[in-house]
Amino acid sequence: MWHKKITGVSVFAVVFLAAVVLSGCGKKAENTNISKGMELLEEYDYQAALESFEAAIVYNEDSQLLYRGEGLAYMGLGDYEGAKEAFLKSLTYAGGGLTALEYDTNYYLAAAHVKLGEYDAAEEIYTAIIGLKKKAVDAYYLRACVFLKENKYEAAIADFEKAFSLEPDNLELVIDAYAEMQAAGYTDEGKVYLSELMENKDKSLKDSEKGMIYYYLEDYDNARIYLDSAVNGDSAETSLVLGKTYEKLGDMNYAAVVYQTYLDANAPDAAIYNSLGICLMKQEKYSEALEAFEAGVALGNTGYLQELKYNLIVANEKLGNFASAKTMINDYISAYPDDANAKREADFLSTR
């Protein structure tokens, strides 16, 4: 959303120049392996996707697309250095003008820089995008997030407010900004924006939206009132927040009912299974929690697979299934080597 920094010139500008120079490079008509790789990315099967993109190199498929896909696969695998290099390769094969694809790849390049702690490089990319697209909401928002990591609070607030002004009705944008401010230690400041949104948009907000704002404002009683009236049993997002609201209010039993009610009436959902399992763990209902985590893992490659697998290990450990937990933690660390919590869990299990 990621080379060496060249003094006085942003990486984005350098990539743009490279694109002009290489504008004569033609596109390949057949990209069978790239297409397969992108399908595998959608299934969160990053290793298999990477193999498809490597095959695309052998078959001389579209270099810009295959290296972009390779970068996405590396991101999924947590190899951010590999992702950065792949995205940079992709950009060197760009055509003669900046297309949506080049902008998208630059966003991912900046994200890899962020993951590597290379905040200056990420900031340069977002600044370059803003220089070319004055209404790039995502660039303002993401640069603000980088500013927070660099302890540049005033600059971050200016960018967040610019993003809000460009999309004044985007509730999700304000909530996401609040979450970033909270993570950076500016919880009270972030709540100001949520409160202002509530005051300014009160009559136009749906009950579900009001409930979510109240949840993030930590007014759980009002959150429950509005979310209860909004939940119709078919919204995973609303059910998740309502369940978490009941957890915050200390009613774990009803929180579990909210999650289970959604699962009983809808297609299986990995996020709901994960939240149900965590809720049951808090009640020390470890066998039931294990079943919820297993059901979530059984859905295959989803955005929650890593968290589900880790929680499944913890549930087995709590049940005293140490042999299973040890096997699982070893497999987990092989798949997710950067997880510090998993390494601590492995150290604990080694004594059991």
Q: What are the tens digits of pLDDT across the range 72-98?
A: 999 988 899 999 999 999 999 988 778
Model pLDDT for residues 294-311, shown as the tens digit of each residue = 999 999 877 899 999 999
Question: Which pTM value belongs to this model?
Answer: 0.79
* CATH code, 282-352: 1.25.40
Give the H or E element holding residue 272: helix 270-282
* CATH code, 1-149: 1.25.40.10
Quote the tokens at residue 209. Answer: 């939206």
Same fold, 1-149 and 282-352: yes
Given a contact cutoff of 8 angstroms between Cβ atoms, the answer to whether 179 and 171 are in contact is no
Q: Where are the domains of the chain?
A: 1-149, 282-352
Listed in sequence order, the residues at least 6 apart from 183 whose beta carbon sits closer than 8 Å to its beta carbon are: 148
Model pLDDT for residues 183-215, shown as the tens digit of each residue = 999 999 999 999 998 888 888 899 999 999 999
Q: Distance between CA atoms of 211 and 230, rounded to whole angstroms?
A: 8
